[in-house]
Homo-oligomer: A and B are copies of this chain.
Amino acid sequence: MNEMPVGLNSRDRILWAAATLLGEGPGAALSVRKVAARAEVSTGSLRHHFPTQRALMDAVLPIVYDLVFTDDGIHDATIPPRDRLVAALQRLLAPEGAKTKPREDWLVAVDRYVRTEPTRATRAEYLALERELLRRIEFCLGVLREEGALAGGDDARRARYLVTVVTGLSVAQAFPAEDTRLQTEIEVLYTAVDYLLKQ
């Protein structure tokens, strides 16, 4: 059992409590009272620092993610190509210093590019964003190709395919999900990536 670090203020105790609860396997969901109890804080105090459960989640998740995904080298040849590619895609999914949250990102994106009839300008803007995503993925594929880890074929087509998978996963991040979301996400990425690599 984890001991609570000493000397933390209430807000950090709450974050610590929520993070450790999340780290306790499936079924260990965040409830107000559980988090408050572990943080040794009242529910009122919890609500003072985090007005809704979503606000709490949005504060905790980036912390948990950053603990898991640190490395960022697609060039690191000591790591198997498939792991590097998966890690790269995961970073696209949840950028390094992201203050943005998947839900808000989706709301903004939908309002901007779907709700209103897109003007020429917003349309171009979205297509540019999409191209940038494709560019990043194609770059990663290029690195792996130079190592000979990639079978012959159309990398542009593969990049479009991977962008689709990443997009599908980012939807899953914004919509409700089971507690096993992160595990499913990794599984799907490996399934998608293994197809492209030589075995």
Known contacts A161-B188, A164-B188; 8 additional CB pairs below 8 A are A52-B117, A126-B175, A126-B176, A160-B184, A161-B165, A165-B165, A167-B167, A194-B195
Q: How far is the CA of A169 from the CA of B123 in the complex (A)?
A: 17
State how many residues of chain A have any CB contact under 8 Å with chain B.
41
Can you list 16 A-B pairs with a CB-CB distance of less than 8 A?
A52-B117, A113-B176, A123-B176, A127-B178, A157-B187, A160-B187, A161-B192, A163-B168, A164-B188, A165-B165, A165-B192, A167-B172, A171-B171, A191-B195, A194-B195, A195-B195
Q: Establish whether residues A114 and B175, one from each chain, have CB atoms under 8 Å apart when the complex forms.
A: yes
Contacts of A109 in B (CB 8 A): 175
Q: How far is the CA of A146 from the CA of B19 in the complex (A)?
A: 45
